[in-house]
Amino acid sequence: MAMYFQSVVIPVKTGNKQAFLDMANKMSSIFAEHGAMRSVECWGDDLMDGKVTDFKRAVQATDDETVVFSWDWWPDKATYDAAMKKLMADDRMKPDGSMPFDGRRLIYGAFETSLDTGGGSRFGYLDGMVASVPDGSRQKFVDDAARMARLFQEKGARRLVNGWGVDVPSGKVTDFSRAVQAKDGETVIVGWIEWPDKPTRDRGMGELMRDPRMREVPPAWNGQLAIFGGFRPIHDTAHA
């Protein structure tokens, strides 16, 4: 099981999808050289508009932009930290031309894996989630995630992953903490649910909303400020 991942949320010009994919292919190969185990990019498909927070607000996405949810797996924090130092000095990381997105509004962070149910390397649809949890409620978060994972898997989910924020920097314009209005004494969490396809996801989510077990225990995170959304995978490279 990979124990560490970096997650990124990016506002990409919708018309620049192919340019973004070309860049993702290049970057994932370089990341692999420095120890990354897998690189995944997912294109926004079913992004809910929240009253206070949502994925679009998280990166101040405009009408002509699509939100991308992505992550890179690393075997451990030490490998990740060493890779980041090397990547900063790697000339290949410099863009060949103009960027297909506004890097000032990109948000990123590194997370220690709290839950990974496993279940295969490929999927057809994904639900992404960002929230915040009081620092003292980490064990409740872990326990709740494991209990909820079993319910989601009953309804067809292939894999569930949750991560506890370890290195979540503050940005000048946007960042993960602002995305969910995290307060002092709270930690940002990122997670996702992998489904075989969108019909299975839609059916499973509908059944879960009617399942009374979903409401038995209040979650550790602030549900009113959490952000959720459905994404389609567009780049998924597992590295040997």
pLDDT of 24-43, one tens digit each? 999 999 999 999 999 999 99
Instruction: Say yes or no to pLDDT of 68 above 80.
Output: yes
Provide the pLDDT for residue 18: 95
Cα 48 to Cα 98: distance, rounded to the nearest angstrom: 30
Tally of CB atoms within 10 A around 107: 23
- Please classify residue 146 by burial: count the beta carbons closer than 10 Å to its beta carbon, then call 0-12 exposed, 13-18 middle and 19+ buried: middle
Angle at 7 between CA 112 and CA 104, to 5 degrees: 135
> In which band, very low, low, confident or very high, does the pLDDT at 2 lie, cut at 50, 70 and 90?
low
Task: Report the candidate in 72, 184, 233, 58 with the shortest Cα–Cα distance to residue 130.
Answer: 58
Domain ranges for the chain, please list them.
4-238
**Three-state DSSP class for residue 129:** strand
> In which band, very low, low, confident or very high, does the pLDDT at 120 lie, cut at 50, 70 and 90?
low
Can you point out the beta strands (E) in 15-147?
38-47, 65-74, 107-116, 125-134
Can you point out the beta strands (E) in the chain?
4-13, 38-47, 65-74, 107-116, 125-134, 159-167, 186-195, 227-238
Q: Which fold is adopted by the domain 4-238?
A: Alpha-Beta Plaits (3.30.70)
Reported as a single tens digit per residue, the pLDDT across 142-184 is 999 999 999 999 999 999 999 999 999 999 999 999 999 999 9
**Three-state DSSP class for residue 188:** strand
107: β partners: 9
Mean pLDDT value of segment 94-119: 89
- Mean pLDDT score of the chain: 92
Instruction: Say yes or no to pLDDT of 74 above 60.
Output: yes
DSSP one-letter code for 213? G
Reported as a single tens digit per residue, the pLDDT across 199-226 is 999 999 999 999 999 888 788 888 889 9
Instruction: Say yes or no to pLDDT of 239 above 70.
Output: no
Instruction: Report yes or no: 83 and 31 within 8 Å, Cβ to Cβ.
Output: yes
